[in-house]
Amino acid sequence: MTRLLIVDDEPHIRSGLQRGLKDEVETIKTAGDVNSALDLMESNEFDALIADVRLPGDRDGMDLVQIVAEQYPRMTVIVITAHGTVEMAVEAMRRGAFDFITKPVDLDLIRQQVRRAIEHGMLREENHDLRTRLADAGEIAGIIGKCTTMQELFSQVRQVADTDATVLIQGESGTGKELVARALHDLSGRSESPFVAVNLGAVPETLLESELFGFERGAFTDANRQKKGCFDRAGSGTLFLDEITEVPGKCQVDLLRVLESGEYNRIGGEATLHADARIVSATNRDPQMMIEEGTFREDLFYRLNIVPLHIPPLRNRREDIPLLVDHFLAYFCSRHGREAKRMDDEAMKLLIDANWPGNVRQLRNIIERLVVTVSANEIKAANLPNDLHSSSQTKRQGITTLAEAAESAERAAIEAALKEAEFHRERAAKLLGVSVRTLHYKMSRFELH
């Protein structure tokens, strides 16, 4: 049901708009001043408001716009006036108006704008309902999940966010490690300072030191100016070092120095600088295995891993998939100016059953593609990519991927060794042929306590 309130001090304009818009909305009420309009709002619910700027009494249309924005935020407002100026339009928008139309009113234009205003309000209502469902199900700083593992992760993030402890986030590619790092920053006392993210795996080894620490003018050929590094740019904010395990040995030593002493030097510089940023790092690899292989420093790992956080792959949190799908549908429909879309039951089942090797990032990309390419309001199974059909069919036939099979076998072997060793971890590690550190990491990953 759509409900409209028209506020104008001229009776013939009120009646004219009422006649002209009767086919666009189901209920129309009118008022001649702000106080009468507010009385109607107290006893009725309205989806949209058309208000003249110049109204009799001690409050005008601009005051009404602001009152509606503050007290009735779900109502969409269109302002009309015979004395329109650019400044007035800007002020109306600043106070919360959806549109600004000058008199004499073009009925075709105002019908079109009323339709747009109502659609805008409906989409806003849908987004509000979605945010409510997300809040009930579980969301923190844009990360969505209602499964037990994600709820535990949210609890850990809240607990450590407002500390200076270094955090190491581990998880497969596409699980949302940078989102977790941003959540730690946004929920901390450093949130007003910069969040600087650098993908260490994407920076050539020859440039990595200057990217992290910067350089002084004249430090080398072509260094014709000073360059600030990531530690400089982060200031007292948060520095997120993604793919930390890709850092070569020399830079590992330099990073360890910063973590231990808080000091560093720009390339070619003599002055000792002090780092104030909180360090959050991430990796999709097993650091314990790299330590044993001799490719990652154990002392650096311990400095980075004061607080370990593990993000589960999407295949281990399938109950979150419908929630993520609804979120991405609403987001991309709004972003690309599409009407609201939904996933039909068969399509949703295929999405839930898929393998998702690319995790949440892959799901997000597929939903955006569907929003852009499917013209219907309902997305059907036939619209989904062929690889999703095949991976869902594989799951229904009881076939596991190699990654899933290896993970299952590894977990079973650890459980068997722990039982055989009567949960003595050193003996269990010996039975498995790994170090105690690796066993601890694997137990944490598989939530074996």
State yes or no: pLDDT of 16 exceeds 60: yes
Are 207 and 222 in contact by the 8 Å Cβ rule? The answer is no
Sign of CA dihedral 132, 136, 140, 144: negative
82-118: pLDDT as tens digits: 776 667 777 777 788 888 888 887 888 888 888 888 7
State yes or no: pLDDT of 130 exceeds 70: no
State yes or no: pLDDT of 120 exceeds 90: no
146 and 290 in a single domain? The answer is yes
- How much is the pLDDT for 134? 46
The CATH number covering residue 219 comes to 3.40.50.300
300 and 334 in a single domain? The answer is no
DSSP label of 187: T
The CATH number covering residue 90 comes to 3.40.50.2300
Mean pLDDT of 49-62: 89
425 and 304 in a single domain? The answer is no
- If you average pLDDT over each of 97-111, 112-126, 149-163, which comes out highest? 149-163
For residue 135, name the pLDDT band (cuts at 50, 70, 90). very low
Are 4 and 114 in contact by the 8 Å Cβ rule? The answer is yes
Are 216 and 268 in contact by the 8 Å Cβ rule? The answer is yes
- How many domains, in total, are found in the chain? 4
* Residue for token pair 């295929």: 350
Alpha carbon 64 to its chain's center: 34
267 and 391 in a single domain? The answer is no
214 and 151 in a single domain? The answer is yes
291-330: pLDDT as tens digits: 988 999 999 999 999 999 999 999 999 999 999 999 999 9
Alpha carbon 113 to its chain's center: 31
185 and 323 in a single domain? The answer is no
397-418: pLDDT as tens digits: 555 556 666 777 788 888 888 8
Where in the sequence is the domain holding 200, given as residue range(s)?
142-310
306 and 215 in a single domain? The answer is yes
State yes or no: pLDDT of 419 exceeds 80: yes
Are 314 and 328 in contact by the 8 Å Cβ rule? The answer is no
91 and 209 in a single domain? The answer is no
188 and 262 in a single domain? The answer is yes
Average model confidence (pLDDT) across the chain: 86
What is the rounded CA–CA span in Å between residue 79 and residue 52? 6
State yes or no: pLDDT of 396 exceeds 60: no
What is the rounded CA–CA span in Å between residue 204 and residue 435? 32
State yes or no: pLDDT of 438 exceeds 50: yes
334-344: pLDDT as tens digits: 999 998 899 99
The domain boundary, picked from 110, 134, 158, lies at 134
Are 78 and 49 in contact by the 8 Å Cβ rule? The answer is yes
Question: What is the bridge-based pairing of β-strands 48-52 and 3-7?
Answer: parallel
Q: Which helix (H) or strand (E) holds 81?
A: strand 76-81
State yes or no: pLDDT of 386 exceeds 90: no
387 and 406 in a single domain? The answer is no
Question: What is the bridge-based pairing of β-strands 238-242 and 195-199?
Answer: parallel
352 and 422 in a single domain? The answer is no
168-188: pLDDT as tens digits: 999 999 999 999 999 999 889
| 3, two tokens | 């409900």
128 and 179 in a single domain? The answer is no
Give me Rg for the CA atoms of the chain: 29
252-300: pLDDT as tens digits: 999 999 999 999 999 888 888 999 999 999 999 999 889 988 999 999 9
Q: What are the distances in angstroms from CA 9 to CA 29, 56, 195? A: 14, 7, 52
DSSP label of 339: P
Q: Which helix (H) or strand (E) holds 279?
A: strand 278-283
Lowest mean pLDDT among 37-41, 256-260, 345-349, 433-437: 433-437
211-232: pLDDT as tens digits: 999 888 877 777 778 888 999 9
